[in-house]
Amino acid sequence: MTRSNFIQTKKTATLSKVHKSSSIKDEVKETIAEETPIALIYNGISHVVMMGSPSDLEDFATGFSVTEGIVDDLSDIYSIEINYKRNGIELNIKISSECFIRLKEVRRNLIGRTGCGLCGAESLSQAMRIPKVNISNSHFHSKNILEALKNFSKDQYLQKDTGATHASAIFAAEGNLKIIREDVGRHVALDKLIGASLKQKKYEDDFVITSSRASYEMVQKIAYLNLKLLVAISAPTGLAIRIADNLGITLIGFAREARYTIYSHNERIIE
């Protein structure tokens, strides 16, 4: 493999020749998920490099910019330009002068790994920022949550092909899929979902399902959408539960097609 084609910057998956233990001498092809360095550059200044799947990049730039507090609103993002380089992807994001001045004051440098959340924050207050949320009386029917869980895996096409990706999705109250995004990184998948959803109309009884565990920063991120239910396929952390409780978010973990565990605000769930 030559250096010039070492990194695939546009493909989300590639075919690779492999050998199975059942028949080591026979060569077969498998679909392999790609991960690519993605640099987010604000007004010409490089801010962070994250590892992710090279798809839905505008959604990622938007969602990351909002959930990291770099911008306050979509109107603060003037343009997003995607540049494919030999060794990765650059997202050149032009933001308002006010937001850029603030960014320079709190700027941090980090290299994000697959699945990395807020590693590299300069202070505890920066890492533990709590977004403002609206009070809501929304409720969710258990049968609709279970219906959404049945549908969740159906549209994870990259996961079906590779077995190596995470997904985050927004469902309507009735359990119907509205938006789904996939990525090799669980936080990147959620940022992509948030970026996509910010451009569409949301309702307070929409909810999010994630294929991963529920960490505190994932609870933080859905709070930016003012949604009140996060369903995780795996377990939550203790901090995620406490933050969800403080923000009035119902947090569900160990969600399967027939059961789940409620960790906060169970009063929102209707049998």
| pLDDT tens-digit series, residues 151-208 | 998 989 999 999 999 999 999 999 999 999 999 999 999 999 999 999 888 888 999 9
Is it the case that residue 118 has pLDDT exceeding 60? no
Domains and CATH numbers, the chain: 36-127 (3.10.20.10), 140-270 (3.40.140.10)
Helix (H) or strand (E) holding 2: none
Confidence at 8, pLDDT banded by 50, 70, 90: confident
Is it the case that residue 112 has pLDDT exceeding 50? no
Tokens of 160: 């079906």
Indicate the DSSP class of residue 271. Answer: -
On average, the pLDDT of the chain sits at 88
- What residues are labeled active site? 116
Q: What is the pLDDT of residues 53-101, one digit of tens each?
A: 999 999 999 999 999 889 999 999 999 999 999 899 999 999 999 999 9
Indicate the DSSP class of residue 131. Answer: -
Confidence at 127, pLDDT banded by 50, 70, 90: low
Given CA atoms 41, 47, 52, 56 in this order, what sign does their dihedral have? negative
Residue scoring higher pLDDT (28 or 193): 193
Range 212-218 average pLDDT: 92
pTM of the model: 0.88
99 with 115: CB under 8 angstroms? no
Residue scoring higher pLDDT (83 or 120): 83
User: How high is the pLDDT of residue 264?
Assistant: 97
Distance CA 202, CA 226 (A): 9
Is it the case that residue 120 has pLDDT exceeding 50? no
Share of the chain above pLDDT 90, in %: 68
Give the DSSP letter string of 3-62: GGGSS-SS-SEEEEEEEETTEEEEEEEEEEE--EEEEEEETTEEEEEEEE-SSSHHHHHH
